[in-house]
């Protein structure tokens, strides 16, 4: 039985691109996301290349996560790669202007969702053992602070530390863990963050060369298909035209 790739947040962005990349190589796929119609379209598109199982899922709901995992069809139960991609950023305004609910949503998805799915799939990953991979999608925001990052950056710092600690606990199981931390990549990320402001998205990516979702999917595929004795702890990847922001100083006048 072939090992499956389980991808959260597969309806757009990195997750959508990862589904295509792994399907090209013939990996059976379990694709989850909140938008059923997009999942169905993706399943129809990729089924000519590989077996595809879909499940509508809000990763912040631990009961729903466990139900999806418990009800996987037999041919999809051997999960050898988990891509924890589901996540979002909201409220780019300064912290003092942000609605508390937006902070809670980011924590529920980026932190609770990540641990919900990981916990549910650990038994399968450990059963697969050598060569199994957990790829947690972090962000450069988890390492490098900037104005408006507040809780989003904090959740991605959690992803990094959780990945490192999980790797320690899994010593001896053969399961690899990687924190994949992208910088600027052109996806629906900014549209979600600004609640549909297309002009803001265009302004962010205009006049430069950001990464694409396919660029990140290629990194995921590389990490997951390394020889079983190798683990990449963290990949921080940026476009050449993006660097760290200089420190800001408040001045009189």
pLDDT digits (tens, 9 = 90+) for 90-137: 999 999 999 999 999 999 999 999 999 999 999 999 999 999 999 999
What is the pLDDT of the chain when averaged over all its residues? 95
Per-residue pLDDT, 33: 97
pLDDT, residue 142, reads 95
Q: Could you count the other beta carbons within 10 Å of the beta carbon of residue 33? A: 25
Helix (H) or strand (E) holding 122: helix 114-128
Q: Given this model, what pLDDT does residue 125 score?
A: 98
Q: Which residue has tokens 């950056």?
A: 153
Q: What is the mean pLDDT of residues 133-158?
A: 96
Token pair of 113, please?
């969702």
* Distance separating alpha carbons of residues 205 and 52, to the nearest angstrom: 33
CA angle, 71 as apex, 66 and 72 as ends, to 5°? 105
- pLDDT for 104: 98
Is residue 1 scored above 70 in pLDDT?
no
Write down the catalytic residue from 152, 164, 205, 222.
Answer: 152
Asked if the model's pLDDT at residue 249 lies above 80, the reply is yes
- Indicate whether 62 pLDDT > 90: yes
Q: CA-to-CA distance for 83 and 182, rounded, in angstroms?
A: 14
Between 204 and 67, the higher pLDDT residue? 67
Residue pointed to by tokens 């090992």: 3
Q: Tell me the C-alpha distance between 62 and 112, whole Å.
A: 8
Tokens 């297309």: give the residue: 198
Predicted pLDDT of residue 225? 98
Q: Binning pLDDT at 50, 70 and 90, where does residue 46 land? A: very high
Active site residue 152: yes
């Amino acid at each position: 039985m072939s090992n499956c790739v389980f991808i959260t947040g597969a309806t757009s962005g990195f997750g959508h691109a990862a589904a295509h990349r792994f399907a090209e190589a013939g990996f059976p796929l379990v694709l989850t996301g909140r938008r059923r119609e997009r999942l169905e379209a993706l399943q129809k598109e990729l089924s000519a290349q590989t077996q595809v199982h879909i499940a509508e899922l809000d990763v912040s709901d631990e009961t729903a996560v466990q139900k999806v995992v418990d009800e996987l069809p037999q041919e999809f139960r051997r999960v050898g790669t988990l891509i924890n991609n589901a996540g979002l950023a909201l409220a780019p305004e300064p912290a003092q202007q942000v609605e508390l609910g937006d902070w809670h949503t980011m924590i529920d998805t980026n932190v609770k969702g990540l641990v919900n799915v990981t916990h549910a799939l650990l038994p399968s990953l450990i059963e697969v053992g050598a060569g199994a991979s957990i790829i947690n999608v972090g962000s450069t925001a988890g390492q490098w602070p900037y104005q408006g990052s507040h809780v989003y950056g904090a959740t991605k710092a959690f992803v990094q530390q959780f990945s490192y600690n999980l790797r320690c606990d899994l010593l001896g199981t053969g399961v690899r863990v990687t924190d994949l931390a992208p910088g600027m990549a052109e996806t629906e990320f900014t549209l979600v963050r600004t609640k549909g402001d297309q002009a803001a998205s265009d302004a962010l990516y205009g006049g430069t060369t950001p990464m694409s979702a396919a660029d990140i999917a290629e990194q995921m595929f590389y990490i997951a298909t390394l020889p079983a004795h190798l683990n990449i702890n963290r990949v921080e990847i940026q476009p050449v035209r993006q660097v760290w922001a200089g420190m800001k100083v408040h001045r009189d006048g």
